[in-house]
Amino acid sequence: MYLTFHGWAIMTALALTVFCWFVPQTVSADEIKDKNTLSFVMENDIFHSDRYYTNGVRASWLVTPGKKTDWAIRAAGLVPFFPIQSIVHANYTIGQNMYTPTDITVQNPPSDDRPYAGWLYGSVGLIAETGQRLDQLEMTVGVVGPASFADETQTFVHKTMHIDEPQGWSHQLKNEPGIILTYQRSWRSFVSESFAGMPFDVTPHAGGVLGNVFTYINTGVTLRIGKKLPSDYGPPRIQPSLPSSGFFNPQKSFGWYLFAGAEARAVARNIFLDGNTFRDGESVDKEPLVGDIQAGVVMTMQNVRIAYTHVIRSREFKAQISHRQDFGVVSVSMQF
């Protein structure tokens, strides 16, 4: 979903204004360190194109340990590979992704181009954090196809922004329920040193995803360097991506860091390329190995974290006209 520079700037400014309006100006870190966290993420192929993975939005609610997470603590105790001594959070998520072919103005897209597809989903996850290690286990259920309302969403936004309206959604994937089980492990500060007076750390990760929407294994690493480096695992992203979380520690004063990361995925299934599981329809030949490179900046002030990430994703299917896709990610997390 391509947005003009001014459109993106206005939307981002409004979002940040709304969030920052509610930021307490005299709240200390000790007062808010145990609060719940609301995160909003928007991924868009801004400035680059209007094709392939064109837009994703996600809102998540990370619940601090307490009476409302007793079920999560009990569930985490049943997972044999979760750390025994850890702080367990529950995470609830809703989101929508949309995918389109190269030219959205064509009513009948070529058969070798990426199919139109939408994905509307909800997730419940367990997050176990030790300070040096983060384990994430998440169950996602949703629907692919017209029931995802991706057609209506993209058409409405394009009409509102006075840009080309998509013409080929009648060729999208058919309705299909989707289920995904995701596990990721990250080792924060696996390497932790100082460079030019600023702390930096290196966080490797590995994991896997199983389901009829995505099935893959992944591994990668993230580097962070900055002022007053907070104890987090990078800003939140939308799957598939480098792992991260809404978890972060508040800071009394302004802090920031730069980050860069890379991930490789061995993909066994991607419904948005392979097509529907039990019905004939649109599909293309996917690439079995896909890589992401990302870089960005994070700013933290008291109980608010704001981040921008630029992502470069390698070719995902054989007939893809470009060797990569670029898109941007804006995320805002706030503790309550």
Q: What was the pLDDT predicted at 189?
A: 75
Residue 206 banded pLDDT, cuts 50, 70, 90:
very high
Q: What was the pLDDT predicted at 246?
A: 80
Q: What was the pLDDT predicted at 308?
A: 95
| Beta-carbon contacts of residue 143 (< 8 Å; ≥ 6 apart) | 119, 120, 121, 175, 176, 177, 178
Q: What was the pLDDT predicted at 229?
A: 78
Instruction: Give per-residue pLDDT as tens, 145-173.
Output: 999 999 999 999 999 988 889 999 999 99
Give the rounded distance of the alpha carbon of 81 from its chain centre.
24
Residue 310 banded pLDDT, cuts 50, 70, 90:
very high
Instruction: Give per-residue pLDDT as tens, 79-101.
Output: 888 887 888 889 999 999 999 99
Q: Are 82 and 44 in contact (CB under 8 A)?
A: no
Please choose, from the candidates 182, 168, 170, 260, the residue with its C-alpha nearest in 3D space to the C-alpha of residue 215: 182
Is pLDDT at 24 greater than 50 in this prediction? Answer: no
Is pLDDT at 243 greater than 80 in this prediction? Answer: yes
Q: H or E stretch including 191?
A: strand 191-195
| Beta-carbon contacts of residue 31 (< 8 Å; ≥ 6 apart) | none
Region 177-206: mean pLDDT is 88
Is pLDDT at 185 greater than 70 in this prediction? Answer: yes
Residue 295 banded pLDDT, cuts 50, 70, 90:
very high
Is pLDDT at 220 greater than 90 in this prediction? Answer: yes
Q: What was the pLDDT predicted at 34?
A: 63
User: How far from each other are the two terminal CA atoms of the chain, in whole angstroms?
Assistant: 31
Is pLDDT at 72 greater than 90 in this prediction? Answer: no
| Beta-carbon contacts of residue 67 (< 8 Å; ≥ 6 apart) | none
Region 229-248: mean pLDDT is 84
Region 57-83: mean pLDDT is 84
Distance between CA 68 and CA 282 in Å, rounded?
A: 43
Structure tokens at 292: 């992401």
Q: Are 283 and 256 in contact (CB under 8 A)?
A: no
Distance between CA 282 and CA 116 in Å, rounded?
A: 8
Percent residues over pLDDT 70 in the chain: 88
Structure tokens at 116: 């139109």
Region 215-232: mean pLDDT is 89
List beta partners, residue 18. none
Q: What was the pLDDT predicted at 64?
A: 81
Residue 47 banded pLDDT, cuts 50, 70, 90:
low
Residue 263 banded pLDDT, cuts 50, 70, 90:
very high
Q: Are 85 and 93 in contact (CB under 8 A)?
A: no
List beta partners, residue 127. 89, 136
Alpha helices, H only, 120-230: 150-161
Please choose, from the candidates 236, 182, 296, the residue with its C-alpha nearest in 3D space to the C-alpha of residue 42: 236
Q: What's the structural domain count of the chain?
A: 1
Torsion, CA 219, CA 42, CA 89, CA 294, rounded to 10: 30
Domain that holds residue 159: 5-335
Q: Are 20 and 304 in contact (CB under 8 A)?
A: yes
Percent residues over pLDDT 90 in the chain: 60
Residue predicted with more confidence, 11 or 146? 146
Q: Tokens 């981040």 belong to which residue? A: 307
Residue predicted with more confidence, 215 or 323? 215
Q: What was the pLDDT predicted at 96?
A: 97
Residue 48 banded pLDDT, cuts 50, 70, 90:
low
Question: Per-residue b/e over 52-81, b at no fewer than 16 CB within 10 Å?
Answer: bbbbbbbebebbbbeeebeebbebbeeeee
Residue 14 banded pLDDT, cuts 50, 70, 90:
very low
Q: What was the pLDDT predicted at 15?
A: 46
Region 295-307: mean pLDDT is 92
CATH number, domain with residue 73: 2.40.128.140
Is pLDDT at 45 greater than 90 in this prediction? Answer: no
